[in-house]
Amino acid sequence: MKNIFKIFGSFLFVALIVSSCKQEQVDENQVLKQEVIDIHDEVMPRMGELRSLKKSLLEKVEQLGAEDAEKNAEEIKRLQAYADNLEDAFEGMFVWMRQFQSNYEGSEEEVYEYLLEQKVLVEKVNRDIKSSIENAKKELGS
């Protein structure tokens, strides 16, 4: 009878440890998911700013082209590149958002790996948005 209690006690102990580890993984995944969302949320409100800066750059391109396209070719090319970077950053956000899945299937470890991958991707989107805005503002003097 004592052996049965020892075996049952050991089984219960192992079950508690396994349950605790699984809960820790779930908690880690929730924290990681929130980090991914926070990185996204930091720059999502700036999408309008991306569009506005792109519009300003393209207006300047048009103005320079109307003045003397040949003489201003270098500057037009540079401004167009900044406008293209803004567009790429804008598209990058929406490409990431379309592929991001907030409901997951698979083991907790698979979910963790997926979220780590998403964090890397959204960090790049974040950097691209910030740098394209910063560069465009410098170019426009604003």
Decide if pLDDT at 10 tops 80: no
**Token output for 86:** 């803004």
DSSP helix/strand/coil, 72: coil
DSSP helix/strand/coil, 139: helix
Q: Is the distance from CB of 33 to CB of 108 less than 8 angstroms?
A: no
Domain range list for the chain: 25-140
Residue 60 has what pLDDT? 97
Q: Is the distance from CB of 140 to CB of 58 less than 8 angstroms?
A: no
Residue 105 has what pLDDT? 87
Give the residue with greater pLDDT, 68 vs 8.
68
Residue 142 has what pLDDT? 73
Task: Give dist(CA 142, CA 140) in Å, integer.
Answer: 6
pLDDT tens-digit profile of 73-98?
A: 999 999 999 999 999 999 999 999 99
Residue 3 has what pLDDT? 65
Decide if pLDDT at 29 tops 70: yes
Decide if pLDDT at 104 tops 60: yes
Q: Is the distance from CB of 54 to CB of 136 less than 8 angstroms?
A: yes
The pLDDT-based confidence of 16 (bands split at 50, 70, 90) is very low
Which of 51, 40, 68 lies closest to 124, judged by CA?
Answer: 40
Name the residue with tokens 């192992």.
Answer: 14
If 0-12 CB within 10 Å is exposed, 13-18 middle and 19+ buried, where does residue 100 land?
A: middle
Residue 33 has what pLDDT? 95
- Output the average pLDDT for the chain: 89
Decide if pLDDT at 15 tops 60: no
